[in-house]
């Protein structure tokens, strides 16, 4: 695969495993074994069964007629919001928990920002009967209380992280430190296509079920496997990696990656990493990240807690670098408008993350005879408080 990972763990100039020696044995064990385990027929059978009967796959590819009419093109929504736990995150955690069991691990750790990946990890740990510890920035535990309660109900231990800026990047640091301190019995379930090789590739493979299904479903509905556009939002980039995966080497499919511009790309309150980031090292990976001139990692901003990661997965950095994917930045305001639009046109309340992808529809100008597949990565239930507060403030200003 031209845009896939090479044998050294790189996508073009990005990727690698920039980790301290204390992590080397763990990461090396994964690197050696992940592909062979994932290819075992029993592993595949067990995973397929769980994806079908537990997660609820395949998720529908829904022709959104009223939305299509609004944008004068043909739009299909890939309904990842209908997955168990409400987003695409569980595709990855189901795969990784099965992998962890085969590696003989007894203890699972994870980081979470908004809490979606934390809930998806706590869920599969309950299913597998494994201990689960989720690191979450203290500020996020306060912003996303219902998800904290869900994780606890599922039997996970949630550790509020008070180091650094107390958000996702610090939760990730703390999970990595936990792994350093537990080098034998613990598996770290990273939630996105970030971190040292092989994580970006492994997570992308687990998420690639999204584009595998899109191809089959589109063939049934349209008589062709390839859409003209695939649109997905990008924080770390796992839902986009999954939605793009089986289209990467099909140059006629335009890939649109949508980042969070926050209050505006140049406002100083943004998470548009492909524009604002420079090449550096974050969480063991060489990629684009937001940082000061001195190389200190900065805190991004977006109304969406799932998009405010200061880096982007190394494959996405490569897609941006080579121009294979077009990167578009969408502000809080445009995303929220798109969220309301989909709610009212289609009766679907999307997650704020996915609403960024929706807001990009007006930027891409797809033609009436073109087919757009938009990955609706999650549902908006978790965002209800943020949504209500946002529109109340907006009404008050008017």
Partner 1 sequence: MPNNRLTRLFQEKSGNLLNIYFTAGYPKLEDTVTILEELEAAGADLVEIGMPFSDPLADGPTIQASNQVALENGMSIKMLLAQLAGVRERVTLPIILMGYLNPVMQYGFERFCQDAAQVGVDGLILPDLPFAEYEEEYKPILEKYGLSLIFLITPQTSEDRIRKIDELTNSFIYMVSSASTTGSQVQTSEAQEAYFSKVRQLGLKNPLLIGFGISDKASFQLACTSAHGAIIGSAFIKALQQPAEVKENVRSFLQQIRG
Using rule CB under 8 A, residue 56 touches partner 1: no
Closest CA relative to residue 160, chosen from 175, 180, 182: 175
Q: Closest CB to partner 1 among 107 and 382?
A: 107
Q: Say whether residue 146 binds partner 1 (CB under 8 A).
A: no
Catalytic site residue from 78, 89, 101, 169:
89
Q: Give min distance, CB of 306 to partner 1, in A.
A: 20
- Does residue 53 bind partner 1 (CB under 8 A)? no
Looking only at Cα atoms, what is the longest distance across the chain?
A: 59
Give 173 or 375: the residue with its C-beta nearer to partner 1: 173
Number of residues that bind partner 1 (CB under 8 A): 37
Residue 19: CB minimum distance to partner 1, A: 6
DSSP letter for each residue of 169-227: HHHHHHHHHHHHH-TTTEEE--SSS-SSTTHHHHHHHHHTHHHHHHHHHHHHHHS-S--
Between 41-50 and 24-39, two packed helices, what is the crossing angle to 10 degrees? 90
**Which region, judged by CB under 8 A, interacts with partner 1, from 17-25, 219-227, 318-326, 328-336?**
17-25
Phi, psi of 2 (to 5 degrees): -65, -35
Per-residue mark of binding to partner 1, 159-198 (x: CB under 8 A): ----xx----xx--x--xx--xxxxx--------------
- Calpha distance 263→390 (Å, rounded): 13
- Our answer to whether residue 377 is catalytic in this structure is yes
- Report in angstroms how near the CB of residue 144 gets to partner 1 at its nearest: 22
Q: Which of residues 290-309 bind partner 1 (CB under 8 A)?
A: 291, 293-298
Active site residue 341: no
Question: Which among 74, 78, 111, 341 is annotated as catalytic?
Answer: 111
Query: Is 111 in the active site?
Result: yes
Write the DSSP string, 129-146. Answer: T-EEEEEEEHHHHHHTHH
Among residues 13, 22, 381, 394, the one that binds partner 1 under rule CB under 8 A: 22
Nearest one of 359, 257, 231 to 318, comparing CA atoms = 257
Angle, in degrees to the nearest 10, between helices 352-359 and 332-346: 90
Residues noted as catalytic? 89, 111, 377
Q: Which parts of this chain interact with partner 1 (CB under 8 A)?
A: 8, 16-22, 24-25, 163-164, 169-170, 173, 176-177, 180-184, 278-284, 289, 291, 293-298
């Amino acid at each position: 695969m031209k845009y896939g990972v090479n044998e050294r763990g790189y996508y073009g100039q990005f990727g690698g495993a920039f980790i301290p020696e204390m992590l080397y044995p763990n990461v090396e064990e994964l690197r050696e074994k992940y592909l062979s385990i994932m290819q075992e027929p029993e592993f595949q059978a067990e995973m397929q069964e769980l994806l079908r009967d537990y997660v609820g796959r395949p998720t529908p590819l829904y022709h959104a007629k009223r939305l299509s009419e609004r944008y004068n093109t043909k739009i299909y929504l890939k309904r990842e919001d209908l997955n168990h736990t409400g987003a695409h995150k569980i595709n990855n955690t189901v795969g990784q928990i099965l992998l962890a069991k085969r590696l003989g691990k007894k203890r699972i750790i994870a980081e979470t920002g908004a809490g979606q990946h934390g809930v998806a990890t706590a869920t599969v740990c309950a299913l597998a009967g494994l201990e689960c510890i989720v690191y979450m920035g203290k500020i996020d535990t306060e912003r996303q209380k219902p998800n904290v309660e869900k994780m606890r109900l599922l039997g996970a231990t949630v550790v509020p992280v008070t180091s650094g800026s107390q958000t996702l990047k610090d939760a990730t640091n703390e999970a990595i430190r936990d792994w350093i301190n537990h080098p034998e019995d613990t598996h770290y379930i990273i939630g996105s296509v970030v971190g040292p090789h092989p994580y970006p590739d492994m997570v992308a493979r687990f998420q690639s079920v999204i584009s595998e299904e899109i191809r089959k479903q589109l063939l049934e509905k349209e008589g062709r496997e390839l859409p003209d556009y695939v649109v997905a939002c990008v924080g770390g980039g796992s839902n986009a990696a999954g939605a793009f995966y089986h289209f990467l080497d099909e140059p006629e499919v335009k890939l649109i990656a949508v980042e969070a511009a926050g209050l505006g790309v140049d406002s100083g309150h943004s998470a548009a990493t492909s524009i604002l980031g420079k090449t550096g090292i974050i969480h063991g990976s060489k990629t684009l990240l937001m940082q000061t001139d001195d190389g200190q990692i900065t805190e991004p901003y977006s109304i969406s807690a799932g998009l405010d990661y200061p880096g982007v997965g190394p494959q996405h950095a490569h897609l941006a670098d080579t121009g294979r994917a077009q990167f578009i930045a969408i502000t809080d305001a445009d995303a929220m408008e798109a969220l309301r639009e989909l709610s009212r046109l289609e009766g679907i309340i999307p997650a704020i993350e996915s609403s960024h992808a929706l807001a990009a529809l007006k930027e891409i100008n797809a033609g009436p005879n073109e087919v757009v597949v938009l990955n609706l990565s999650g549902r908006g239930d978790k965002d209800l408080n943020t949504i209500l507060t946002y529109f109340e403030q907006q009404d008050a200003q008017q």
